[in-house]
Structure 1
Amino acid sequence: MSPFTTLNGTPPLVIAHRGASGYLPEHTLEAYVRAAELGADYIEPDLVATRDGVLIARHEPNLTGTTDVAAHPEFATRKKTVQVDGRAEEGWFAADFTLAEIRMLRAVQARAERPQAFNGRFMIPTLAEILALRERLARETGREIGVYPETKHPSWHAERGLPLETRLVALLQEYGLDRPDAPVFIQSFETANLKALGALTPVKKVLLIDGDTVTPDGRVVSGRPYDFVLSGDARRFADLMTPEGLAEIRRFADAIGPWKAYIVPALKTPSGPDTLLAPTSLVGDAHAAGLMVHPFTFRNEASGLAADYHGDARAEYRLFYSLGVDGVFSDFSDTAVAARDELFSAAGPR
């Protein structure tokens, strides 16, 4: 009998969130290689489109925080304020650059508390390059390393004549990954996007569930999927985390990717770290609906850990693994793997 209480009884996946982003600038080939070396099961590229329709890996269409674009005087006039999902953002946007121009940029570490020594060294990769890398890493490591792409702001891209779905599926087909058992999960914060993808590809799909804060009684306050905003659906992400909402999600997705406070709420305190509240029933409810659960985002820095973990990032993983999550999005794949190995060793063979 498996020691894991995941949906299928398999070990929870370690998903390298933006690659080994705790160590290297995110969404670079070097960060994905490092993640595989650290034992990640899946590498995660966030996808945005260039002006000429090429899918590249960036966390947001806005390039300002993750590249050195501001240091390029030739692009100074490209800086603008743009509405992204109803919010004004100032910066430089991938949709205004050709791939040739993107090739002139280099990645930088987005978090000030993380190593900055690699800033300006690594290129911005295309999805095609990432899929070729995945193939090579799987061959070299002898492990089935998967890819977990996110379609970023799909409605926003569609409004600009740069739909992400067909471009993504075409590349999956090119690399032999367009099949139900492929080591692929496509994720999105929008339901309409996943439904459209359902008509295009049989690979596994994940609805991401965002949240903002936690109330004293443990409820997550959340925003709305942007396709709900566009269609006039008043429901929020939190409204989908009921048994009825999960059953609805199961009709077009195979998993949910919730903010981890939906599973273990953490209450903000005025003068110190968050404190944990009792776990919710979400993992069990999702499993009952036939959905896997992949919460985000796990980080090592003490500033991101609740007081209950006493600075031990592995303690957070062990708690979530023990609750039966099917995978975790982690900036530090080695820590996630170590905690999983510890839990398995402690459980022993069954």
Structure 2
Amino acid sequence: MSFLLRHALACAVAAFALPNAQAQAPWPPVPALSAHRGASALYPEMTQPAFVQALQDGADLLELDVVLSRDGVPVVRHDAALAAPEVGEGTPFATTDVATRPEFAQRKTTKTVDGVRQTGWFAEDFTLQELKTLRTVERFAQLRPGSAAHDGQHPLLTLQEVADLAKAHTARTGRTAGLLIELKHAAYLQAQGLDLGRALLEFLERNQWSSAQAPVIVQSFEVQVLKELRARSPVRILQLLGGKGGPPDRATQGATYAQMASAQGMAAIAAYAQGVALPRQLAMAMDKGRWIAPSAATREAKAAGLVVHVWTLRPENQFLPPAYRKGTNPADRGDALAEARAILGSGGVDGLIADDPAAIRDAFRR
């Protein structure tokens, strides 16, 4: 029997086996509640208080994004840019105070990340030691002044530091806290000599999480990094799909998320992933401003044997469909719980990813 065949069989067996310790309580639960960048509606995203609050509020998984420092350390940031005052046709943003640091003024540069031209400061141009001197700021300062009040207080975290938080919570409470790790800009980083996939594999090995039973799920909008991960590890995988465009590492091939959401596309995903993570508008059908039923994409995913997680539920009116808003102020909170209940109640959805787990927790009946 060839090595590749033996490896494939081992991965298949591992994917369905459950250790005795988890036989009575499979993980993750269904439906699963993932905290999007922690409790990011309450604290600046992916900070220690955001993650701690999310666990206290009942999240099953801490969703986070991973990029690399110049010295190859996995750091939790949503973007390669730490601050980008110029983003092509997009919206400028900042999640750190790097723009206010005179010692780093010369690091400001212009790059093209996943097809988008950006001017700012980029994580891969800083060592971990330098990144640790920065402090986080709220991305949506106008919408979330309570979170913005914590600007400048919290350092950036490494992936290992978040894993340690989850492990400590599990040990203290007996309730498994897992990680939903999104790999960001893998092809972009690879072109700069930084191997995000290898860094993740080393992280999994170091934490003894290289198994299908580990409290970890890995996701990405990119395809190749997930396929390479599947070849090397039985860890759970979700393929992220967007509402428009296509996977950034398949741009030259003309691949689109619409193609991936078809029956043929979902069958192809099932060859390397256990599930998909879909935006609300792709996962659900809407009528009169409310979610009413699983979409064709969700039905095709289920037909292919894939689990379906839905992103991103946010509590403010600005992000809610019309039927779930309260008042006209975009910053006011609407009825996020009603939205969560509508999505879960429609059937076919195995998990929700949300900025404020406490706001939708009651939709999860266990």
The question of a shared fold, defined as TM-score above 0.5 by the shorter chain, is answered with yes
User: Would you say 1:67 and 2:109 are equivalent positions?
Assistant: no
1:197 aligns to what SS in structure 2?
helix
User: Would you say 1:255 and 2:275 are equivalent positions?
Assistant: yes
2:225 aligns to what SS in structure 1?
helix
Q: How does 1:59-208 map to 2 (within 5 A)?
A: 59-64=78-83, 65-112=94-141, 113-114=143-144, 115=146, 116-208=148-240
Q: Structure 2: which 5+ residue stretches go unaligned?
A: 1-26, 84-93, 326-333
The C-alpha deviation readout for 1:273-331, integer Å capped at 9, x for no partner, is x9347532333321121100011100100121111224311111011101231001100
Corresponding residue number in structure 2 for 1:219 = none
User: Would you say 1:12 and 2:31 are equivalent positions?
Assistant: yes
Answer whether contact 2:186 2:195 (CA < 8 A) is retained. Answer: yes
Q: Structure 1: which 5+ residue stretches go unaligned?
A: 1-7, 212-221, 268-273, 345-350
What is the Cα deviation at residue 340 of structure 1?
A: 1.7
1:131–1:79: structure 2 CA closer, same or farther, 3 Å change rule?
A: same
- Tell me how far apart the structure 1 counterparts of residues 173 and 258 of structure 2 sit (CA, whole Å): 39
- Tell me how far apart the structure 2 counterparts of residues 210 and 181 of structure 1 sit (CA, whole Å): 27
- Tell me how far apart the structure 2 counterparts of residues 94 and 9 of structure 1 sit (CA, whole Å): 31
- Tell me how far apart the structure 1 counterparts of residues 136 and 67 of structure 2 sit (CA, whole Å): 15
* TM-score (norm: length of structure 1): 0.87
- Tell me how far apart the structure 1 counterparts of residues 248 and 40 of structure 2 sit (CA, whole Å): 27
Corresponding residue number in structure 1 for 2:313 = 298
What is the Cα deviation at residue 248 of structure 1?
A: 0.7
Corresponding residue number in structure 1 for 2:289 = 275
1:245 aligns to what SS in structure 2?
helix
Deviates more, 1:127-136 or 1:290-299: 127-136
- Tell me how far apart the structure 2 counterparts of residues 338 and 283 of structure 1 sit (CA, whole Å): 23
- Tell me how far apart the structure 1 counterparts of residues 279 and 174 of structure 2 sit (CA, whole Å): 32
- Tell me how far apart the structure 2 counterparts of residues 184 and 101 of structure 1 sit (CA, whole Å): 28
Answer whether contact 2:226 2:272 (CA < 8 A) is retained. Answer: yes
AA at the equivalent of 2:246: R
- Tell me how far apart the structure 2 counterparts of residues 330 and 11 of structure 1 sit (CA, whole Å): 15
Match of 2:363 among 331, 339, 343: 339
Deviates more, 1:279-288 or 1:310-319: 279-288
1:146–1:92: structure 2 CA closer, same or farther, 3 Å change rule?
A: same
Corresponding residue number in structure 1 for 2:302 = 287
Q: How does 1:23-38 map to 2 (within 5 A)?
A: 23-38=42-57
2:44 aligns to what SS in structure 1?
coil
Corresponding residue number in structure 1 for 2:249 = 227
Answer whether contact 1:266 1:306 (CA < 8 A) is retained. Answer: no
Deviates more, 1:104-113 or 1:308-317: 308-317
Q: Which runs of 4+ in 1 moved over 4 A?
A: none
The C-alpha deviation readout for 1:139-191, integer Å capped at 9, x for no partner, is 11211111111110110010011110111111111112111111111000011
% identical equivalent positions? 38
The C-alpha deviation readout for 1:209-235, integer Å capped at 9, x for no partner, is 011xxxxxxxxxx10111211xx3223
Count of matched residue pairs? 317
2:268 aligns to what SS in structure 1?
helix
1:340–1:277: structure 2 CA closer, same or farther, 3 Å change rule?
A: closer
Answer whether contact 1:283 1:323 (CA < 8 A) is retained. Answer: no
- Would you tell me which structure has more strand in proportion to its own residues? 2
Match of 1:317 among 340, 344, 355: 340
- Tell me how far apart the structure 2 counterparts of residues 320 and 83 of structure 1 sit (CA, whole Å): 36
Answer whether contact 2:292 2:346 (CA < 8 A) is retained. Answer: no
Corresponding residue number in structure 1 for 2:328 = none
